[in-house]
Structures are given as structure tokens and as C-alpha cells.
């Protein structure tokens, strides 16, 4: 075997001596391991590596051999065991190995950077194509200017018609004067069902509601008072007005009595029937003035008209 041949199983001592021949310097020993410090290359400090101590029988692992040869001769095993021809040649060889490693590292970084750039460009193209597809699929509809909705023309307010000579009748058959007459006649607290029974009408929901409305109306005019919820009775004012109406009707219906004896005053002729009938409207107007001293609105006619008609009918029946 020549001196330049690569030994198969070099001893630890021989391996350390060969490293020292290439410029490695022994460092501190730590148990079974010996620290070896490589020569500085330019401004770079020497590389430190641990190898098996010369006194140890266990050989260095293959990875340690390969790492030392790579750092020393750039991986050339034969050149490592042949030893450096001279210091300059060895330094050049080390520098070349370091430069090759540096260039390889730079090339790898450039390759990775180029790969990342290419990947980013491909992703950008895919993203742009995806956005174009989404814009085509969901293209926004043109926003039309909103036209204000046409405002409904306000209906002109109906003026209240003047009081007609012939009063209009209310659709409901139950009038306020009918309920008032029941309360005055019975003179006791009554609810809507009791009044319906006195009037002889069915206690339907509509009829009971109409009677309740008449209660509220009479209470507002002071002709009835609420005893409890849903129960009312005629007030003293209501009884007084009812008595006054009855008195006026009786006076109209009864002919004027002849004087028992002639007096010094001129005899007043008894009113004929035609005059009595024409004074009914005046009497009703006078009673309305008593009932409603503050007057009333045209909207109240639907409540007043039935009472006027019923009163005229009553007088007419009595006179007959």
C-alpha cells in the first residue's frame, strides 16, 4: 500500500496527526472527545469540531471523517491522507473549497428565490382569472336613481253641512233618547243587558255596544252617571229635564181652560189646534237649549235627530 492510499481503519491518533498536518490545532479535551480547531480562512475564525481522543479505542464515526475531509480538502479523501504539498497550495485548496461552498449556497438561495417568485406570479395570474370570472358571474346591476313615490293628494276636508230642517236618522235602531227614557223610567242602576231587555231588543254584540255608546254619551251630557263599570243610572239633572219635557208636552196637549168669570182684562182667545201644532218645533228647540246650553256641532246631529223624531212622534200620538 502506498503512502497516499486511503487507510481503511485509521487509528484516532493517526487521524488527529493528519489533521494537525493540515493546520488543525488541538483544543480542550472533554472526556472521550478531543476538540480540534481549524486554521482561520481570511477573516473567518477556525471551525471547531470534536473527534475521538487519541487514547480512545472507539473509532470516529464516518460522519466525523467526512466532515473533517470536507472542511480540509473539499471532500478529497486521497488528498487529505496525502497531506499538504506546501502551505500555499493547501490554503488555496481550502479557499477554493470555501468559495465553491459559498457559490453553491448562493446558487441555492437564488434558485429558491426564483421558485418563490415564479410561484407568486402563477398565483397572481390565477387570482386575477378568478376575479374576472366572479365579476362576469355576479356583475352588479346598474343602480337606477330612485324616483320618489308619488304622494297621495290629501283629500279636502269636508265642511260640516248646515243643520237641515229634516234631521237624518242614525243607522242604529237604539237611540240615546230611548236609553235615557229607560234609565229615567226605572230610576235604578242598569247595565246594557237590562236596558236591552226593557227595549225588547236582542242582546247581540252590536246592540250591547250601541247601548254602551249611549251610556257614554248621556254621561257626557250629565244626564247619566256611572255607578260601576258598565252600569249607569239617570242623574238628578236627567230626571229634571225629563220632567220638564213631560210638562211641556202635557201643556201642549191640554187645551187652554176657559176663564170661570169675565175679568177686566181682555179675554185671550184659546189657541186653535193649528197654532198648537206649529209650536211643537219651538218647544223642542227650547228643550234642546236646556239640554245643551253650550250648543252642539253638526256631527252631533246623528244623536239629536232620533230624539227629536221620537219626541214629535210621542206628541203626535198623545194628541190623537
Boundary residue ending a domain (89, 120, 137): 89
Q: Which residue range(s) make up the domain with 47?
A: 12-89
In a domain, 218, yes or no: yes
Answer yes or no: are the C-beta atoms of 47 and 22 closer than 8 Å. no
Answer yes or no: are the C-beta atoms of 33 and 53 closer than 8 Å. yes
Boundary residue ending a domain (60, 89, 118): 89
Answer yes or no: are the C-beta atoms of 65 and 7 closer than 8 Å. no
In a domain, 169, yes or no: no
Whether 307 and 180 map to the same domain: the answer is yes
**Bigger pLDDT: 7 or 168?**
7
What DSSP element (H or E) covers 64? helix 62-73
CA atoms within 13 A on the CB side of 201: 21
**Which CB contacts under 8 angstroms, 24+ apart, belong to 189-198?**
189/227, 189/228, 189/231, 189/232, 189/233, 190/231, 190/232, 190/233, 191/230, 191/231, 191/232, 192/230
Task: Please report the DSSP string for 9-45 in residue order.
Answer: S--HHHHHHHHHHTT-EEEEEETTEEEEEPPPBTTBP
Cα angle, residue 136 at apex, residues 131 and 139 outer, rounded to 5°: 105
In a domain, 51, yes or no: yes
**Bigger pLDDT: 2 or 189?**
189
Boundary residue ending a domain (67, 89, 111): 89
140 three-class SS: coil
Mean pLDDT, residues 218-242 taken together: 90
Please give the backbone phi and psi of residue 243, each rounded to the nearest 5 degrees, phi first: -65, -35
In a domain, 156, yes or no: no
CB atoms within 10 A of CB 290: 13
In a domain, 108, yes or no: no
Say how far apart CA 15 and CA 19 lie, in whole Å.
6
* pTM (predicted TM-score): 0.29
Q: pLDDT tens for residues 83-116?
A: 887 655 666 666 676 677 788 889 999 999 999 9
CB atoms within 10 A of CB 263: 8
What pLDDT does 171 receive? 60
Query: What is the pLDDT confidence band of residue 118, given thresholds at 50, 70 and 90?
Result: very high
Checking if the pLDDT of 318 tops 70, the result is yes
In a domain, 183, yes or no: yes
**Bigger pLDDT: 279 or 183?**
183
Whether 198 and 314 map to the same domain: the answer is yes
Whether 315 and 193 map to the same domain: the answer is yes
DSSP code at position 300: G
Please give the backbone phi and psi of residue 33, each rounded to the nearest 5 degrees, phi first: -110, 145
200 three-class SS: coil
What pLDDT does 207 receive? 92
Indicate the number of domains in the chain: 2
Whether 297 and 188 map to the same domain: the answer is yes
Checking if the pLDDT of 215 tops 50, the result is yes
In a domain, 236, yes or no: yes
List the one residue out of 305, 303, 58 whose CA is nearest residue 165: 305
Whether 83 and 187 map to the same domain: the answer is no
Say how far apart CA 51 and CA 32 lie, in whole Å.
9
What pLDDT does 116 receive? 93
Say how far apart CA 283 and CA 8 lie, in whole Å.
151
Cα angle, residue 306 at apex, residues 303 and 312 outer, rounded to 5°: 140
List the one residue out of 65, 74, 88, 75 whose CA is nearest residue 18: 65
In a domain, 42, yes or no: yes
What pLDDT does 220 receive? 92
Amino acid at each position: 500500500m502506498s503512502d497516499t492510499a486511503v487507510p481503511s481503519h485509521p487509528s484516532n491518533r493517526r487521524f488527529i496527526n493528519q489533521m494537525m498536518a493540515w493546520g488543525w490545532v488541538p483544543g480542550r479535551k472533554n472526556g472521550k472527545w478531543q476538540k480540534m480547531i481549524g486554521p482561520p480562512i481570511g477573516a473567518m475564525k477556525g471551525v471547531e469540531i470534536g473527534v475521538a481522543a487519541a487514547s480512545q479505542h472507539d473509532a470516529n464515526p464516518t460522519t466525523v471523517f467526512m466532515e473533517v475531509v470536507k472542511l480540509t480538502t473539499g471532500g478529497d479523501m486521497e488528498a487529505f491522507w496525502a497531506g499538504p504539498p506546501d502551505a500555499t497550495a493547501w490554503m488555496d485548496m481550502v479557499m477554493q473549497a470555501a468559495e465553491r461552498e459559498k457559490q453553491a449556497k448562493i446558487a441555492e438561495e437564488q434558485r429558491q428565490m426564483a421558485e418563490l417568485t415564479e410561484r407568486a406570479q402563477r398565483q397572481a395570474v390565477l387570482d386575477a382569472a378568478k376575479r374576472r370570472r366572479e365579476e362576469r358571474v355576479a356583475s352588479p346591476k346598474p343602480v337606477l336613481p330612485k324616483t320618489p313615490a308619488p304622494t297621495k293628494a290629501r283629500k279636502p276636508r269636508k265642511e260640516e253641512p248646515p243643520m237641515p230642517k229634516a234631521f237624518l236618522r242614525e243607522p242604529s235602531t237604539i237611540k240615546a233618547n230611548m236609553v235615557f227614557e229607560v234609565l229615567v223610567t226605572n230610576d235604578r242602576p242598569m247595565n246594557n243587558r237590562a236596558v236591552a231587555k226593557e227595549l225588547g231588543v236582542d242582546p247581540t254584540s252590536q246592540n250591547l255596544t250601541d247601548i254602551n255608546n249611549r251610556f257614554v254619551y248621556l254621561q257626557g251630557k250629565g244626564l247619566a252617571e256611572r255607578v260601576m263599570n258598565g252600569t249607569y243610572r239617570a242623574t238628578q239633572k236627567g230626571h229634571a229635564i225629563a220632567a220638564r219635557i213631560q210638562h211641556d208636552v202635557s201643556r201642549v196637549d191640554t187645551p187652554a181652560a176657559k176663564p170661570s168669570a169675565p175679568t177686566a182684562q181682555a179675554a185671550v182667545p184659546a189657541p186653535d189646534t193649528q197654532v198648537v201644532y206649529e209650536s211643537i218645533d219651538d218647544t223642542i228647540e227650547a228643550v234642546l237649549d236646556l239640554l245643551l246650553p253650550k250648543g252642539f256641532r253638526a256631527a252631533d246631529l246623528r244623536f239629536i235627530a232620533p230624539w227629536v223624531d221620537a219626541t214629535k212622534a210621542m206628541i203626535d200620538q198623545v194628541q190623537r
